Structure 1
Amino acid sequence: MSQAYGGLYIPRPGRGIIGLIVANVVAWIAYMLMLRLGLSDIAARLPLTPAEFLTGDLWQPLTAMFIHSPAATGHLLMNMLFLWIFGVEVEQVYGTRSLVMIYLACGLAGAAVVVLLGLVVWLLAPTSSLGLLWISGTLGASGAVLGITGCWGGMLWHQTRSFLFLGPMRVRTFLFIIVGIQLLGALSYDNVSYSSHLGGLAAGVAFGRGWLRPGMVTDWLDRRKLRRLKAQQARRRGHLELLDGGLGDHPPDNGRYGDNGHSDDNGPLYH
């Protein structure tokens, strides 16, 4: 749903968008407090650094996508604005749970590209200026937010929308413009993780086009849980049969199991 303000339609955020914005703001405040309260040793291990991640700091891809630099308030505000604008329709189509799954998956996809690029540079050109990618920390929600933007664009791939300062255009053209901006930015060697942006954006487009499903991981976990429950039930049934046939006031039914405890129909052996 959208709400009108002064003739403009401003999207009304759902629970998922509000929750993600709150989580990012709380993480930003907590990160800032850590730095100001002398907990810099802990705070320093929250951004994603390829060298640290591959040597044991496995939480970094998750923490890095929620924290922002205290000195870059505009970075946080811009990310949350884009999340709001493009995430509303994604949540309406996919639902709150899937929105969060897409956000996390795109953030992790961006982190994977950062780690992979850092590793490749370290292996091939560790002494070059690009070698800093191996030991440089990355933080911010841009990869996840651009993933939501990519998902939105993937859903509306063939549609035409009107964009502020750009006018009406095909949604896919808008995405190509974003990709071009990221590639040009990567050539400037500034302090921005464009690899994370592109990785998250690509994953988002894959979700929006239907090449990936938000429930792929949860479906796999549900199937695994179901198999585990079935195995537990099978063991419980076997245990009850054992109690019924081998313990209590009555001896086992020899007609069923024979004199030596073996099933006549080559069934399981009970002790």
Structure 2
Amino acid sequence: MGRITDTVKTLLIINVIFFVGSISLGEAGYKLFALWFPMNDSFQIWQIVTHMFMHSQQSITHILFNMLLLYMFGSQVENIIGQKKFLFLYFSAGLGALGLQILFHYIQFLPGYQSFLEAGFAKNEVLEFLRTGSYSTKVLQFTTEDSISAMYKSYYSNMVGASGAVSGIIAAFGILYWNQPLRMLFIPFPVKAKYLMAFYFIPDVLGGISSFSVYGMSNIAHWAHIGGAIIGFATMWYWKKNSFNKNRWY
């Protein structure tokens, strides 16, 4: 894997600081720095960035897995494209992850929300229902309980983690080393990068479409992983095609 770059090392340290800090602050830290659904009262503009450095407080596995992947793939990508492009790739993939996941939540949220408006409720009345969980049954003339449940779930959804940004780095790594056999940790034989990408991303595609997680956890933001991967793949493909000497690519 080679020497860890200073940029990757800094990102690792920032993520660890946020993780320790959020545990110290408890629920208040999570509420302040996780990314909440934009219509939720807890949403703040800085969460667009801070959520990328937050991880689940319930288990250390979340941050360990993301930081391991960043360590394994990040330095090799940065060594080829340089620090500025690496940071652009990292944060743009994180924003791409945010965008696709929020879009998914809005798709779940809007049918129920629109039904409340059609039933004659004002916007502030709908938001009050979401805050309290109580509503008039007359809205069921316009929608279903499942639709209302989806709206409620989206309203209280939140995002944490570097997974989207790391997914972008992994996708970029795959473009760089597409057909090259690689030896990775925990895999006793060489595997081409394109197969590693498929192994990593196919479960997210299946989970995003079916809402069934092969990992056995229901709180994984599959669309965020996919969004980050799309940005990482497209960005690195463009750079590879237009910006670099072909002899520098593997």
Query: Do both proteins adopt the same fold according to a TM-score greater than 0.5, normalized to the shorter chain?
Result: yes
2:192 partner letter: R
| Residues 184 and 165 of structure 1: CA distance in aligned 2, closer, same or farther (over 3 Å) | farther
Instruction: Show structure 1 runs of 5+ residues with no match.
Output: 1-9, 216-271
- CA–CA distance in 2 between the matches of 1:177 and 1:150? 12
**2:57 matches 1:70:** yes
Relative to its length, the structure with more helix (as a share) is 2
- CA 1:114–1:23: 2 relative to 1, 3 Å: same
1:118 counterpart = 2:105: yes
Q: 2:195 maps to which residue? A: 173
- Consecutive unaligned residues of structure 2, counting only runs of 5 or more, are 114-145, 244-250
User: Superposed, which structure 2 residues align to 1:112-191 within 5 Å?
Assistant: 112-124=99-111, 127-128=146-147, 129-131=149-151, 132-163=153-184, 164-165=186-187, 167-186=189-208, 187-188=211-212, 190-191=218-219
Candidates 224, 234, 247, aligned match of 1:196 = 224
Answering whether residue 35 of structure 2 is matched by residue 44 of structure 1, we say no
Deviation of 1:120 after TM superposition, in Å, equals 1.4
- Distance in 1 separating the partners of 2:78 and 2:29: 34
Identity among equivalent pairs (%): 26
Q: Specify the alignment match of 1:218 in structure 2.
A: none
Calculate the TM-score normalised by the size of structure 2. Answer: 0.71
1:148-199 per-residue CA deviation (whole Å, 9 max, x = no partner) reads 1111112222333244437333322221222212123343261111111111
Aligned to 1:19: 10
Change (3 A) 1:100 1:138: same
Counterpart of 1:51 in 2: which secondary structure? coil
1:29 aligns with 2:28: no
- Residues 97/166 of structure 1: CA separation in 2 closer, same or farther (3 Å cut): same
- The alpha-carbon deviation at position 211 of structure 1 amounts to 5.8
Higher relative contact order (CA 8 A, sep 6+): 2
Answer yes or no: is the 8 Å Cα contact 1:61–1:107 preserved in 2: no
**Stretch moving more, 176-185 or 192-201:** 176-185
Of structures 1 and 2, the larger Rg is shown by 1
Q: 1:141 and 1:165 mapped to 2: Cα distance?
A: 23
Task: Name the counterpart of 1:60.
Answer: 47
Partners of 2:40 and 2:49 in 1: how far apart? 11
Aligned-pair Cα RMSD in Å:
2.6
